[in-house]
Amino acid sequence: MPNEYPSGSFDSGVPECAPASLLAALDAAGLDYDVSAEVRAEHGRDWWPLTIPDVAAGRVPHWPGVVVRPTSPDDVSRLLSVASAQRVAVTPQGGRSGVVGGAVAPNGAIALDLTGLDRILDLDTVSGTVSVEAGVFGPDLERHVRAQGWTVGHFPQSFDLATVGGWIACRGAGQYSNRYGKIEDIVRGLTVVLAGGEVIELGGRGPRQAVGPDLLALFTGSEGTLGVITRATLVMHPVATSEGRAAYGFESFAEGLEACRRILQRDARPAVLRLYDEAESRRNFEVEQCVLIVLDEGDQSLVDATMGIVANECAGATPLEVGLVERWLAHRNDVGALAPLWERGIVVDTIEVAGPWATLAPMHQRVTSALLALPDMMVASVHQSHAYLDGACLYFTFAGRPASGATEFYRAAWDSATDAVLDCGGALSHHHGVGRNRARFVARALGSAYPVLAALKRQFDPLGIMNPGALGLGGEPW
């Protein structure tokens, strides 16, 4: 976790744990659980930056009533049967590496720690698939498949801390996703436990099927609100045999975006194609231009073709030292500065969104202008992190030092940026998901489709016990 509770924080003022009737039911079901103050406090949070000052001060914003640790899908089924009978909320948790509060277990809830489901079940080297339990961490999975010449290719910034189930539940995207796809492109099958304890199997019969709507998609991105993912089958790629790297400088962010668009629309998909505005280029690379870093890997002939298209479309840009790519690789998952900034009174966070190419340049201007218009805002910057044939993800960073009211400043920053994105026709989130931080925007973002999502919630979770408050469904809004 980004920081730890101070020693002795819970000597007093700890709310009661789950009632005796619930604990007795868990005992009768043969489930392992923990009601200690230290464990409950830890499972009342994830990496949502808003919780950092609370943790530093020893405040616990949310106290789940009990932390349950299943070690099998059958354990999860029994747990949800108990929770339904007792009408107690359940928040599924993996590595709790999300940054929007989606894994924050509310007061009195059951925090369902899935990291005990940690087995890699099967690796099919003919079809190129791997079956794995939801609590397996990314590095463990990748080490296992690479030993046999494969890669899943999913490398989010939270790679060291996130689990397979979290990848899927939050509809995540890895840093090499232009080449390997987002998680929805990688998932081939799921085992899901529904709110009442029923176990269902989805997909797993091939790369695609035309048997009605895609039921896998209902749970890919559902953030634990419709059921609990316990197993997944993922498609793999052979480990790359070749790599290409390049870096370029552009005079403006809009000019760099245009080059990225042309590259993608020529069907070149370098694994990494990241464009930074002037502020982020200075901060990350000490370059006074808008830096584009490019990395591709795979078969030599494909890498050569891809990098050739990149060079052609960047012919008018300034070639930069290829070592900038290595600098990015060395620091790409480093978030160590986040907690110290918050602890010094600097409110900082990132907002990733998406939109079509035609709207990205004006969206960049509107969002950064809206953020910089706020009192006490110090900086608002952006980079492009994931690109498609028809658009891309813009990843904004803001930082401010409010004289008072850090939470109010934080909310105002998110409100102003999100309003600008939605006004431009952009997507509310690209890969961080909704959680609780974005819950208040979901109805507007989905528009006429929101009642369909609400109806699915009622159908799958009629008692409203599954992660209430996440995804704008049930629970108190933040």
Whether residues 251 and 310 share a domain: the answer is: yes
Q: What is the pLDDT of residue 8?
A: 79
Q: What is the CATH number of the domain that holds 418?
A: 3.30.300.330
Over 90: is that where the pLDDT of 477 sits? no
Last residue of a domain, one of 331, 354, 387: 331
pLDDT in tens, 304-344: 999 999 999 999 999 999 999 999 999 999 888 889 999 99
- Distance from C-alpha of 60 to C-alpha of 42, rounded to nearest angstrom: 9
Over 80: is that where the pLDDT of 73 sits? yes
Q: What is the CATH number of the domain that holds 90?
A: 3.30.43.10
With respect to residue 443, please indicate whether it lies within any of the assigned structural domains: no
Q: What is the CATH number of the domain that holds 214?
A: 3.30.465.10
Over 70: is that where the pLDDT of 1 sits? no
Count of domains forming the chain: 4
Q: What is the pLDDT of residue 10?
A: 81
Whether residues 233 and 287 share a domain: the answer is: no
- Distance from C-alpha of 50 to C-alpha of 304, rounded to nearest angstrom: 44
Whether residues 412 and 381 share a domain: the answer is: yes
Q: What is the pLDDT of residue 174?
A: 97
Over 70: is that where the pLDDT of 91 sits? yes
Whether residues 206 and 133 share a domain: the answer is: yes
Over 80: is that where the pLDDT of 476 sits? no
Whether residues 200 and 156 share a domain: the answer is: yes
| Strand pairing report for 129-133 and 228-235 | antiparallel
Last residue of a domain, one of 279, 313, 331: 331
Q: What is the pLDDT of residue 2?
A: 54
**pTM (predicted TM-score):** 0.96
With respect to residue 98, please indicate whether it lies within any of the assigned structural domains: yes
279 vs 1, residue with greater confidence:
279
Tell me the average pLDDT across 432-450: 97
Tell me the average pLDDT across 200-208: 95
Over 60: is that where the pLDDT of 98 sits? yes
Over 80: is that where the pLDDT of 52 sits? yes
Over 60: is that where the pLDDT of 398 sits? yes
pLDDT in tens, 148-186: 999 999 999 999 999 999 999 999 999 999 999 999 999
Q: What is the CATH number of the domain that holds 299?
A: 3.30.70.3450
- Distance from C-alpha of 415 to C-alpha of 401, rounded to nearest angstrom: 17
Q: Which domain holds residue 395?
A: 338-433
Give the pLDDT band of residue 12 (cuts 50, 70, 90): confident
Mean pLDDT of the chain: 96
Q: What is the pLDDT of residue 275?
A: 98
Q: Who contacts 11 (Cβ-Cβ below 8 Å, separation ≥6)?
A: none
Give the pLDDT band of residue 418 (cuts 50, 70, 90): very high
Q: Which long-range contacts (CB under 8 A, 24 or more apart) does 284-290 make?
A: 284/327, 284/328, 284/331, 285/324, 285/327, 287/249, 287/320, 287/324, 289/249, 289/250, 289/251, 289/318, 289/320, 290/249, 290/250, 290/251, 290/252, 290/253, 290/255, 290/256
Which of 53, 67, 59, 176 shows the shortest CA–CA distance to 111? 67
With respect to residue 445, please indicate whether it lies within any of the assigned structural domains: no
Whether residues 83 and 142 share a domain: the answer is: no
pLDDT in tens, 255-278: 999 999 999 999 999 999 999 999
- Distance from C-alpha of 282 to C-alpha of 247, rounded to nearest angstrom: 14
With respect to residue 442, please indicate whether it lies within any of the assigned structural domains: no
With respect to residue 5, please indicate whether it lies within any of the assigned structural domains: no
Which of 159, 199, 200 shows the shortest CA–CA distance to 183? 159
Task: Note whether 287 and 249 are within 8 A (CB).
Answer: yes
Last residue of a domain, one of 296, 331, 366: 331
Q: Who contacts 362 (Cβ-Cβ below 8 Å, separation ≥6)?
A: 424
Whether residues 153 and 229 share a domain: the answer is: yes
